[in-house]
Amino acid sequence: MKSLEKLAYLPYFTIQAVNQLIGGSMASTRLLLSRQEKSGKIIRLKRSDYMSREFWLEHKNEPDFLTMVSAIIQPHSYLTGAWALQNHGVMTEGIYLLTGVTLKHTRSIKNKLAGWHFFHIKEKFFNGFVEKNINGIVCRKASAPKALFDWFYFRSEHPGLNNKDFDLAEDERLNLEEWDKTMKAEFFRLTEKSGSPKMKRIAKNLKEKIWG
């Protein structure tokens, strides 16, 4: 449809924006978008947000594309955990679920581009990310130390930590040998500030087994 061509090269557009362009009822707009989605001309990102196939084809291979989509889906969030650790070279195996944290409620979203899980986090832990403007959208991704902190923080404590010979980094296949003093210091600062006994035990194991 000609009217939708005006939205084709935007990062995303809403059902309300389409309705303003074409007029009529919201029901007819939803029907139009449903048909466009079935034909593959648009991709639904979440309930009321869409992306054109043209924009996807043009930008899908850019390194920060999914970071941008994440910010569209959950604006008040940053990507972290396993996916961010893979981006930072800490994890080598493929990670297909993107994890983020938000000050809002925990939620999971899946669309044709990927799957996301956003953990709720306390405001005092909503930090440690790099902020970029991508196609006019504010996008956030955790630094390597913060991604490692968040990854451990939202997981159950590994029972092996009770064994003094246990090497957590080796068991989890984490590439941490090349971290410099600044990155290590940041991770230790985060664990200390958290006040979490679990995180302090994790930091102690990493320090003794790999960063000693």
Which pLDDT belongs to residue 4?
74
Could you tell me what percent of the chain has a pLDDT over 70?
A: 99
- Residue-wise pLDDT for 164-205, tens only, equals 899 999 999 999 999 999 999 999 999 999 999 999 999 999
pTM (2 d.p.) = 0.91
Asked if residue 72 has pLDDT above 90, the reply is yes
Residue 80's nearest CA partner among 142, 35, 163 is 142
Task: For residue 138, list its beta bridge partners.
Answer: 133
Instruction: Report the 10 Å Cβ neighbour count for 64.
Output: 18
Asked if 101 contacts 77 with a C-beta cutoff of 8 angstroms, the reply is yes
Q: How confident is the model at residue 1 (pLDDT cuts 50, 70, 90)?
A: low
Task: For residue 120, list its beta bridge partners.
Answer: 102
Which pLDDT belongs to residue 93?
80
- Residue-wise pLDDT for 53-70, tens only, equals 999 999 999 999 999 999
Give the separation between CA 75 and CA 70, rounded to whole angstroms. 8
- Residue-wise pLDDT for 133-149, tens only, equals 999 999 999 999 999 99
Q: How confident is the model at residue 3 (pLDDT cuts 50, 70, 90)?
A: low
Could you tell me what percent of the chain has a pLDDT over 90?
A: 88
CA distance to 19, 39, 196, per residue, from 24 (Å): 7, 22, 55
